Structure 1
Amino acid sequence: MASLPPEQLNRALGRGLTAAYLVSGDEPLLVQEACDSIRAAARQDGFSERELHHVGPDFDWNVLLTSVNSLSLFAERKIYELRIANGKIDEAGNKALQHYCERPPEDNLLLIVLPKLSKGAQRSKWYQAIDACGTVVQVWPISPQQLPGWLDKRIKQAGLRADPDTIDLLAARTEGNLLAAVQEIEKLKLLCEDDFISADIVAGAVADSARYDVFSLVDKALHGDARAAVKTLHGLKGEGTDATVVLWALAREIRTLSQIAHGLENGQSFDRIARSSGVWDKRKPLVSRAAKRLRSNQLQLLLRKANSVDKTIKGLRSGDAWDELMDLVLNLSGTFSLSAPVQKLSLTLD
């Protein structure tokens, strides 16, 4: 049978247990949750004992087979869990697993947990035997494009709500670490009101004691106060703020300004565009001044620069992310005429 994605596992478990389960993947949180679901379903079905084996090069597969085939006057339904950290099964293991799957005992359930399997491993006889008598759960990593949707689903499962900007910020902070994302959601659950997670709450949770904050940085840049914006950026860096959070705040504002600039060029009123872009009434004067100061082509350039900073932060291109953020802040503040090094020198010298 085809391998089962984790999101379909609970439905399959609801239809009944199979004799064996193989959970494979390199995403620890999703692997652990899949195993938890299998164990929970097995307990509900009367499997009251669990025998755990960590399989290494010296593992004696005969010990497993002897335990599986031994009978007791007080026999209990038992889960045999094999954790194979290196993902390798030798010839003895190959034969033992085939033997087990030929006639799996009714009172036993086999759970095998491994890292991502190679194509060669999936062609092995032991894998085919497990696939024939049981269920294979293949855990794939969550891609950056999938992460916002995954976070939105987890937030809803926690009984919370969040807007797309907040989810994007949370994704930027936790990309590549789903366990950290789940922990953040649990923490935010204690901080939010009316079950709604706002961007302010997420940004504040980054560093509650920070003397500088990303929203102050954005406002100073929009105001055209380059010197104050640079000072705030230095403060954020010194406080240990994640560069992805700073970039998120700047990029969000640049996208909003770009939408407004495009609308104004097409004859729409500022109030109408600002309202559709989610600009709060108290920020309209600040955003309006920035929209008059920055042209559409300049904002498109800033969006391209923000994309470059994102690649630098992720290690996809060489460079210093904080130097590039400095350039982005200066440009958003209206300083385009000088090169970035000269800009930084002129602003740091008083």
Structure 2
Amino acid sequence: MARPRPEQLANATAKQLAPVYLITGDEPLVVQECCDIIRKSARAQGYTERELHHTDGGFSWDDLYHAASSLSLFADKKIIEIRVHNGKPGDAGSKALCDYCAHPAEDTLLLLVMPKLEKSAQNSKWYKAIDGSGDIVTVWPVGVQQLPRWVDQRLKAAGLNADSEAIDILCAKVEGNLLAAVQEIEKLKLLSDNNFIDAQLMSSAVMDSARYDIFGLVDKAISGDCRAAVATLHGLRSEGTEALPILWALSREVRALANIAEAQYHGESFDMACRRAGVWDKRKPLVKQALHRLKLRDLQMLQRKSALIDRSVKGAASSNPWSLLLDMVLTIAGVQVFSPRTQRMELRI
């Protein structure tokens, strides 16, 4: 059907909802915002029930058939949301999606969320089936050249204006991390008296960070400073920081490291792999240092742990997300995680 860009999604869904949506990309903030837009439009149009499924644990594609054929006694319409953590539904998922897209259930909206898809996936039967019956929203990374314009648009959406020098300062601060940029803009809304941000205000605002910083946590972990990383994690928790933004920052870094490690395994140069993974030049020494400690299998294990933490935060798994985040931070920092050692590390902080 259609392939709206993320910025077009609000208008498109307000006019008419497609029966199926696929949101794909590796920018967690924009992916989440696209999902939020679809859910909001769906609620406004009577979709009052939502079922959330994750394909990386205890999920069967038969659940899609069951969910589509049953409605709550208290809801006329519902959303079925399926998060395919690796972007590969497999043979069973491919058949289920093709069958569903051929005859979408009435009063049901299917929302699929996947990471960036390879070319082979885009040529698959299930992808073409979704493309034929629903809308596909591809979230592209915001690169170095596009970031100033993206920041300017976000500032304007927040009711703020900034000069080009101020925007450059913020871009340098966040190094392409969109979640960090949004957090800084929220802070600027509180600091600005006349809704205008000049270079002086921007500089003072971005330097006046909280005692514990999410992205400082990431840097400490990948540099191998496990004691400082654990202290920062505990500090963030004590200050009331939610687990999900921390997970997003750690998961983003792990995904970039895994992409670089896999590219190098196939013979690509470190610099080219970093460029493809969106790693800024000033971060390359940290990344190289982390890849000396973490092998591809370690990074793949961390990606699986990220998915478990995500489910735990959202109540879909019974594990303690903060304990899992601690394990994740220690592993990234190069500490082989065993329960007694983890407990000793917690006691020392």
What is residue 182 of structure 2 aligned with on the other side?
182
What is residue 99 of structure 1 aligned with on the other side?
99
Could you say which structure has the larger radius of gyration? 1
One-letter identity of the residue aligned with 1:109? L
What is residue 85 of structure 2 aligned with on the other side?
85
What is residue 238 of structure 1 aligned with on the other side?
none
What is residue 34 of structure 2 aligned with on the other side?
34
What is residue 160 of structure 1 aligned with on the other side?
160
8 Å Cα contact 2:83-2:112 kept in structure 1: yes
CA positional deviation for 1:2: 5.7
Q: Comparing 22-31 with 197-206, which one deviates more in the overlay?
A: 197-206
Is 1:151 aligned to residue 151 of structure 2? yes
Partners of 1:157 and 1:44 in 2: CA distance: 22
Residue 3 of structure 1 aligns to a residue whose secondary structure is coil
One-letter identity of the residue aligned with 1:200? Q
One-letter identity of the residue aligned with 2:67? S
CA positional deviation for 1:59: 2.2
RMSD of Structure 2 on Structure 1 (CA): 2.4
CA positional deviation for 1:124: 1.0
CA positional deviation for 1:81: 0.1
Partners of 1:92 and 1:8 in 2: CA distance: 32
C-alpha distance 41-72 of structure 1, shift in aligned 2 (>3 A):
closer
C-alpha distance 51-71 of structure 1, shift in aligned 2 (>3 A):
closer
Partners of 2:146 and 2:107 in 1: CA distance: 39
8 Å Cα contact 1:192-1:198 kept in structure 2: no
Partners of 1:2 and 1:78 in 2: CA distance: 22
C-alpha distance 206-71 of structure 1, shift in aligned 2 (>3 A):
closer
Partners of 2:183 and 2:85 in 1: CA distance: 25
C-alpha distance 74-153 of structure 1, shift in aligned 2 (>3 A):
closer
Partners of 1:13 and 1:110 in 2: CA distance: 14
What is residue 284 of structure 2 aligned with on the other side?
315
Q: How many residues align?
A: 219
Counting only pairs closer than 5 Å after superposition, residues 7-26 of structure 1 correspond to structure 2 as: 7-26=7-26
What is residue 277 of structure 2 aligned with on the other side?
none
Q: Comparing 134-143 with 70-79, which one deviates more in the overlay?
A: 70-79
Q: Which runs of 5+ in 2 are unaligned?
A: 210-279, 288-349
Counting only pairs closer than 5 Å after superposition, residues 268-347 of structure 1 correspond to structure 2 as: 313-315=282-284
8 Å Cα contact 1:97-1:129 kept in structure 2: yes
One-letter identity of the residue aligned with 1:38? I
C-alpha distance 157-16 of structure 1, shift in aligned 2 (>3 A):
same
8 Å Cα contact 1:147-1:175 kept in structure 2: no
Counting only pairs closer than 5 Å after superposition, residues 110-125 of structure 1 correspond to structure 2 as: 110-125=110-125
CA positional deviation for 1:315: 3.1
8 Å Cα contact 2:5-2:138 kept in structure 1: yes
TM-score between the two structures when normalised by the length of structure 2: 0.59
> Percent of pairs identical after alignment?
56
What is residue 346 of structure 2 aligned with on the other side?
none
C-alpha distance 162-114 of structure 1, shift in aligned 2 (>3 A):
same
Partners of 1:117 and 1:206 in 2: CA distance: 34
